[in-house]
A and B are shown apart, each in its own frame.
Chain A
Amino acid sequence: MTEEPQKNETGASVPEESAEPRRDFITGASAILVGALATLAPIGAAVVALIDPIRRVSSASDMVLVARRAAVPEDGSPRKFTVTADRKDAWATYSDTPVGAVYLRSVGDEIRALNVVCPHAGCFVGVAPDDSRFACPCHRSSFDLDGVVNDPASPSPRDMDALEVEVRNGDEVWVRFQNFLPGREEKTPV
């Protein structure tokens, strides 16, 4: 094979290396601009789609029927109840599906509800075996039965999240079930 001047597909001679291309600012800037224009639409569409979840705000819940009053222990010890509600998850709709859980406690005539999720890092808070307090199994957050932080070393920045409760028709316990951002002092709904 003999050396031939290299040619590109159209047959035109490729400029030799010695011939420095002219540094034309306008051409360069145009190239970048046109290229950017060409990719604008796909990148724009991608970004918009990717950040879609941010514009979805929590469907701040209506009141949900969680339990009958008689099912809440009268002695003031907390009992866990699963909260079931209708839920839409992306493309799927679930009816009456567990969405979380609450601790219900009867204090005098009142029923109080606490979200089971730890305000520290989002674990599921448990009840100490002797029903005396709430204890998180992850990072040792500790709360009294009112959900108030009861240990100076507790890493939780705030008390357990109390939820609005309404007793309807005498014996139906309705709760406005909501989750809140963990790891901050103020209660910010998710």
Chain B
Amino acid sequence: MRDLLGWLDHRTGYRGLLRSVLYERIPGGARWRYIWGSTLMFAMVVQLITGVVLWSAYSANAQGAWESVWFIQNQMAGGWLLRGIHHYMAQVTIVLLVLHMMQVLIDGAYRAPREVNFWFGLILLQLVLGLSLTGYLLPWDQKGFWATKVATSIASMTPVVGPSLQQLLVGGTEYGHLTLTRFFVLHAGVLPAAVVLLIVGHIYLFRRHGVTVPKSAKPKEDGYFWPEQVLKDSVASLIVMATVLGLVLWSGGAHLGAPADPAEPYAAARPEWYFLFLFQWLKYFPAGWEVVGAQVIPGLVLALVAAMPLIGQWKYGHRFNLGVGAALLGGIAMLTWQARVEDAADLDFILAKAEADALAERASDLAALPQGIPITGGLVMLRADPLTQGPRIFEANCSQCHRFDGHDGLGGQPDDAPSASDLAGFGSREWLAGLLDPDQVATETYFGATAHARGRMVRFVQRGVAGFTPEVRADLEKVIMAVSAEAALPGQASVDADHAAEIVEGRQLFSSEAIDCARCHTFRDISDGDVGPVLTGWGSREWVLGMLHDPSSEAYYGEDNDRMPLFGVDELLTDAEMGLVADWLRGDWAGQRTPEP
């Protein structure tokens, strides 16, 4: 063995190399204050390892990015942990960078002859920020998409080259496949390679000049990198890792929003917390001054920081630099705090965030269903989901007149009072029983605010039904069961099955003399009445679609149609949209079923 290592050393000289790496002399011995650089090195290695493994499952295209990240997060063994470590280590890296810079500044380690190394560090800082920025987009979720749009918009404001720069970054005029491939090559190729090169240079220069022993430090014996300093560095790295693991476990892993959608607003768009100060900063620049706020001033600040080693040569230079550092840090902290405070007091933001979280959860639930994510991607999947789209379509097209459980479908309140029935639970026994309740039929929930308020149906309920004997009332219950069974609501399937006999009976009673719905309504094979809407298949998907398509057709309200638009005939909604709103009203969607209201 010894001979073998001897041979290897002769051929490679590894012993000398190892010796020079490990037995670096540290004047004044190992110290805790020297750990920051090493913890950053540790963080970089962690990012490299987790990043490469994430890469092995990631797909950089508009129909694969969100989808593959969802897969990593939810299906891959340990994927959530891997992604969580990568995500939170990135954030901890920023904190460590700030601490490292503070230590360098306070100890005066940026001054001659270490200027070049300080500049290397400054470039590294920007590369790391670049890694954060590019990494934020890669999951291709709403959050990353809209936040990055702001970032590339700022790039486009650069004088002269701005538009071209933006096009280069985005890979064209619109966000798409090439935006992802380009951000990915920056994130996983160009920037890490530059980081590795600069770290090599950084460490080389650091070794060349050695540590900066703080003036205040008590004189100690000289020590060596191995093992004294390495032990301290390892302890620090362990603490860093424990912090990251703590964050992953506490948060349940990195968040994944709903798939990116250029046509859907995302009012909760915010950058990562360490860019929040810039975000807040931009609010203070009125029209025409964006470039100053977004580029000129940050550029000048960076130039000032880069000039610190030169300023440091001046008598009061070090104090000046410390002052600048403290002011910058304080300013950044204040802006960040301000941004947080404003968001915490902004109800719209809080609501938008809650909505975004709900949507993210729904997208993830849909992806986890047996049918999974279609080849067309998560966004198409989400757009075909009645639970997600139904309320939006309802709010935009129906809520001017109708309500859903008292609101506009999305939980809001339209300006005008309702002028048509509340459609929550439409098709259910409860809904029908309410319609046939003399106390309810003429309220806003049913026909109270419509042209039918004084119509035959209301009259029938208020005069006829109100006078029903208990026996007839019991029969009416069965008719309600029978008509509601026509809807075949998924949420009522088991109840309908339980009452099969009553339903059959109810169909007979529909035209009974005492109840006589058939006087006005057509139902199954009973077709005497053609005054009111046909009740065959009432509340079923086909029936609702027919109503949306043409409420003034003979089978529905005919000439009695109040103000309901002919959504299909007039092409106000597409077939797909009508299908989505019908499915949503009927509680017919894939995945978790909420009970009928």
Contacts and interface: CB of A to CB of B under 8 A. Distances in A.
Interface of A: 1, 50-51, 53-54, 56-58, 68, 70-71, 73, 79-80, 82-83, 87, 89-92, 98-101, 116, 120-126, 129-131, 137-140, 149, 152-158, 171, 179, 181-185, 188, 190
B173 interface: yes
B158 to A, nearest CB: 10
A53 B570 CA distance: 41
A24 B135 CA distance: 49
B125 interface: no
A134 B262 CA distance: 18
A123 B146 contact: yes
A10 to B, nearest CB: 20
24 contacts: A50-B168, A53-B167, A53-B168, A58-B173, A68-B570, A68-B571, A70-B570, A71-B397, A80-B265, A83-B263, A89-B62, A91-B177, A99-B174, A101-B264, A121-B282, A123-B146, A124-B264, A129-B412, A138-B150, A138-B279, A171-B570, A181-B163, A181-B166, A183-B157
B153 A182 contact: yes
Contact of B178 (A53, A120, A123, A140): A53
Contacts of A53: 167-168, 170-172, 178
Contact of A54 (B164, B348, B415): B164
Interface of B: 10, 62-63, 146, 149-150, 152-154, 156-157, 162-164, 166-168, 170-174, 176-178, 261-269, 279, 282-283, 285-291, 294, 348-349, 352, 383, 396-397, 400, 412, 415, 565, 570-572
Contacts of A121: 149-150, 153-154, 282, 290
A68 B570 CA distance: 8
A122 to B, nearest CB: 4
B269 A138 contact: yes
A53 B289 CA distance: 28
B290 A183 contact: yes
Contact of A140 (B152, B174, B265, B283): B283
Contacts of B173: 56-58, 179, 190
B178 A90 contact: yes
A171 B569 CA distance: 13
A-B pairs, top 6 by smallest CB distance, nearest first, are A98-B263, A124-B265, A89-B176, A137-B267, A122-B153, A183-B157
Name A's interface SS: loop
Given A54-B164, A154-B286, A155-B285, A122 B150 contact: yes
Contact of A157 (B152, B262, B288): B288
Nearest to B10: A1
Given A120-B290, A139-B282, A183 B156 contact: yes
B283 A139 contact: yes
B550 to A, nearest CB: 14
B154 A68 contact: no
Contacts of A51: 168
A183 B153 contact: yes
A100 B149 CA distance: 13
A90 B171 contact: yes
A190 B167 CA distance: 9
Contacts of B177: 89-92
B117 to A, nearest CB: 30
B146 to A, nearest CB: 6
B348 A137 contact: yes
Nearest to A68: B572
Contacts of A83: 263
B176 A54 contact: no
A41 B290 CA distance: 40
A79 B397 CA distance: 10
Contacts of A171: 570
Given A1-B10, A124-B267, A181 B156 contact: yes
A80 B150 CA distance: 21
Given A98-B263, A123-B149, A190-B173, 12 more contacts: A53-B167, A53-B170, A68-B570, A68-B571, A83-B263, A89-B176, A101-B264, A121-B149, A122-B152, A129-B348, A149-B287, A154-B286
A45 B289 CA distance: 39
A155 B283 contact: yes
Contact of B172 (A90, A140, A152, A154): A90
B125 to A, nearest CB: 24
Contacts of B348: 126, 129, 137
B168 to A, nearest CB: 6
Nearest to B347: A129
Nearest to A128: B348
Contacts of A131: 415
Contacts of A58: 173-174
Contact of A99 (B150, B263, B396, B415): B263
A56 to B, nearest CB: 5
A137 B571 CA distance: 32
Contacts of B174: 58, 87, 89, 99, 179, 190
Contacts of B383: 98
Nearest to B376: A94
A101 B167 contact: no
A131 B163 CA distance: 34
Nearest to B149: A122
A15 B37 CA distance: 42
Nearest to A91: B177
B261 A98 contact: yes
Nearest to A190: B173
Given A91-B177, A121-B150, A157 B565 contact: no
B349 A137 contact: yes
Contacts of B171: 53, 90
A84 to B, nearest CB: 8
Nearest to A127: B265
A129 B149 CA distance: 25
B262 A185 contact: no
A137 B147 CA distance: 12
B262 A100 contact: yes
Contacts of A122: 149-150, 152-153
B290 A157 contact: yes
Nearest to A156: B287
